[in-house]
Amino acid sequence: MNQNGCHSRRHFLQRSAFCLGGLGALSLLEQDGLLAKPVDFQSQHFDMLPKVPGVRPRARAMISMFMQGGPSQIDLFEPKPELDKRNGQKFVGDIKYDDAAHASTTLMASPWKFQKHGQCGTEVSELLPHFSQIVDEVTLLRGMQTGVSNHGQGIYAMQTGGILAGRPTIGSWLSYALGSETRDLPAYVALTDPRGLPVLGVANWTQGWLPSLYQGTAVRSQEPRMPNLDPAPHLKGEAQGRYLDFLGGLNAEHLSAHPGETDLEARIASYELAGRMQLAAKEALDISGESEATKKLYGIDNPVSAEFGTRCLIARRLVERGVRFVQLFTANQTWDHHKGIIGGLPAACQYVDQGAAALVLDLKQRGLLDSTVVHWGGEMGRLPVIQYDGGRDVVGRDHNTYGFSMWVAGGGFKAGLAYGETDEFGHKAVKDIVTHRDYHATLLHLFGFDHTKLTFQRNGVPMALTDNQGGRIVQEILA
C-alpha cells in the first residue's frame, strides 16, 4: 500500500488541510466537516478536523509562556531559609557546572524578599508582584527536574519529550490529537519575541516527524505577521484588491472557455478562502477593539510590559477563536543569568510578570480558564552558588537542571497549590519531583488522552510524546 499517500483519497484530505509552511488552519474542502469526530490513531489519514478524545477531557486549549534560559527558582518561587543562613559559605556537595572557568562553591542567598500571598499562602519573591496576586489560581511546581545537560537538550526535553532534535513539540501533538476548532486560523501558533528568536529557533514549533500540517505557525508581533498571509507593504489594500479583481476577471473568462471544469471553480473559490483567512488573522491579531481596562490589565499602558502584555492578550484572542495551542517565547536566553543576575533578573520579570498574571485573570473572568491550560516556565533553574564571584554587579548563577520551578493554571490543574520542593539549598528536587515526562503525561491526561496510547506510527513503531520512558500522571495536582 502506498504509505505516503501521494495519490490516494487519504492524501487528498491531508492536503486539503491548511498546511502552508506551517499554517495550520482548515481548508474549504472541510467546511462541511466541522462536526467533531472520534479519534482513530490507527488510521494514516491526517486532517485538522476537530476530534473527540477517548476520556473525558478537562482542557481544550493551552497557552504556554516559555521562559527560555532558566528563571532562577531560588530568587522567584522557592524561599530557602537554610541558604539564607549559609550565605557566603562553601557548598560541599556535587555540582555540575556549565561554565567551570567562572564557577565557585560560594553559596549565595537570594537578594530578594519572599512573602506569603493569597489564601493558599504560597510564598513568592518580591520580583513578581503580579504573579503574587494570582497564586490562588495556580499550581506552582517547585520540584521540576529534567536532569539533562544544557539549554538545547533541556528545551527539547520540555518541548518534545526527548533530548534530541527532530521530535514533534507538544503543540504538534495536541493539533494531531485534537485537530482545530477554527478553519480560518492556524491550530498551533508560536508568538515570537520581536527582540529575537529563542534558542533552537524554529525547532521550538516543529512538527518533527508528524505530518507537516501539525507544524506551529510563527506569528510575528509586527507585520508581516504570518508567512504568505500579509501582502507586501506597498500592495496592501487597494493595490492587492485591484490585482485580485483583475485576476477574478481573467479566471472568469478562462472558466467560460472551459465549461464544466470544477477544479477551476474550486481554485477561484480558494482565492476567496485565502481572503477570508487574511481577514480572520488580521481581526484576531488586532487588539484595538479591546477595552482600556483590559489593556491596562495586561500592562499595555506601560512601555516595560506592553510588548509581552500585547502578546498575552493576542494569545487569549486566538484561544477564544478556536486556536488549540499558543506558545509565547522570550528572546534568546532572557533568563540565562550567568552574570549580573541582580540587575538582569528584575528586568526580565518586569517584562513578563504583568502580562502573564493578567492572562490568567482575564481567562478566568471570561470563563475560559477552566478549559484552557496556562503554563509559565523554562527548561531549567539556577544553582545556589555564585558564578562570576566578583561583586554585586557581576554575580550570577550557573545552570541547574536538577531542580527548578514553573507554574500551571486552569484546564483541570489545582488552584492555590505549591507542589514539590528542592533540597535545603534549592539545588536538587527532592520531594514530589515532577519530570518533563510526568508533566507531559499529566498534560495529555487533562486533554483526555492516555500518553501511552496517543501514538504515531513511524517505521512500524508507535511513537509517543513520552515514548514509554515512564511518565506519571501527577494526580496530586489535578483539581
The residues in 40-99 that bind another protein, with binding defined as CB under 8 A, are: 90, 94-95, 97, 99
Angle value at C-alpha 113, between 112 and 116, nearest 5 degrees: 140
Distance between first and last Cα of the chain:
46
Q: CB 394 → another protein: shortest distance, Å?
A: 11
- By CB under 8 A, tell whether 279 contacts another protein: no
293: left (phi over 0), alpha (psi -120 to 50) or beta: alpha
Half-sphere exposure of 335 toward its Cβ, with a 13 Å CA cutoff?
30
Asked whether position 280 contacts another protein by CB under 8 A, the answer is no
DSSP category for residue 313: H
Three cell numbers, residue 308: 509581552
Nearest approach, Cβ of residue 234 and another protein (Å): 5
**Residue in 246, 347, 365, 453 binding another protein, rule: CB under 8 A:** 246
Interface stretch with another protein, choices 57-65, 81-89, 128-136, 247-255 (CB under 8 A): 247-255
The one among 34, 52, 120, 255 contacting another protein by CB under 8 A: 255
Nearest distance from C-beta of residue 147 to another protein, angstroms: 20
Angstrom distance (rounded) from CA 456 to CA 386:
45
Q: Which of 45, 86, 126, 212 binds another protein (CB under 8 A)?
A: 212
Pick from 48, 218, 297, 300 the residue near another protein by CB under 8 A: 218
Site string for another protein, 180-199 (x = CB under 8 A): ------------x-xxxx-x
- Count of Cβ atoms closer than 10 Å to residue 469 Cβ: 11
Residue 118 touching another protein (CB under 8 A): no
What is the C-alpha to C-alpha distance for residues 210 and 172, in angstroms, rounded to an integer? 8
Q: Which among 117-125, 222-230, 302-310, 417-425 is the span making contact with another protein, rule CB under 8 A? A: 222-230
Secondary structure, 3-state, 151-198: HHHHHHHHHHCCCCCCCCCHHHHHHHHHCCCCCCCCCEEEECECCECE
Give min distance, CB of 346 to another protein, in A: 24
Contact flag: residue 34 with another protein (CB under 8 A): no
138 vs 174, which CB is nearer to another protein? 174
Site for another protein contains 453 (CB under 8 A)? no
Cβ proximity of 207 and 348 under 8 Å: no
Q: From its phi and psi, is residue 194 left (phi > 0), alpha (psi between -120 and 50) or beta?
A: alpha
Decide if 355 contacts 308 (C-beta within 8 A). Answer: yes
Distance (Å, whole) CA 447 – CA 42 = 19
User: Can residue 288 be called a binding residue for another protein (CB under 8 A)?
Assistant: no
Q: Which residue has the cell 467533531?
A: 36
Among 54, 111, 118, 227, binds another protein (CB under 8 A): 227
- Judged by beta carbon, residue 2 or residue 302, the one nearer another protein is 2
Contact positions with another protein (CB under 8 A) in 302-341 = 331-332
CB-based contact 397:72 (threshold 8 Å): yes
Given 170, 191, 273, 454, the residue binding another protein (CB under 8 A):
273
* Of the candidate residues 45, 126, 251, 320, the single one contacting another protein (CB under 8 A): 251
465 near another protein, judged by CB under 8 A:
no
Among 37, 113, 116, 236, binds another protein (CB under 8 A): 236
CA distance 135 to 278: 38
The nearest distance, CB 119 to another protein, in angstroms, is 42
Note whether 20 binds another protein by CB under 8 A: yes
Residue closer to another protein (CB basis): 357 or 463 = 463
Q: Return the residues of window 138-177 that contact another protein according to CB under 8 A.
A: 151-152, 164-167
**Total of chain residues touching another protein, rule CB under 8 A:** 104
> Applying CB under 8 A, which part among 32-40, 212-220, 315-323, 375-383 lies near another protein?
212-220
Tell me if 24 sits within 8 A of 186, measured CB to CB: yes
Interface pick for another protein out of 38, 260, 303, 391 (rule CB under 8 A): 260
Residue 348 in contact with another protein, rule: CB under 8 A: no
**CB 216 to another protein: min, Å:** 8
Among 52, 200, 306, 361, binds another protein (CB under 8 A): 200
Taking the CA atoms of residue 417, residue 124, residue 342 and residue 338 in that order, the dihedral angle to the nearest 10 degrees is -10
Residue 98: CB atoms within 10 Å: 19
Mask 380-419, x = binds another protein (CB under 8 A)? Answer: ----------------------------------------
Integer angstrom CA distances of residue 231 from 17, 139, 250, 454, 458: 22, 43, 20, 39, 38
Of 71, 147, 216, 384, the one binding another protein by CB under 8 A = 216
Sign of torsion, CA 478 57 173 361?
negative
CA distance 180 to 406: 27
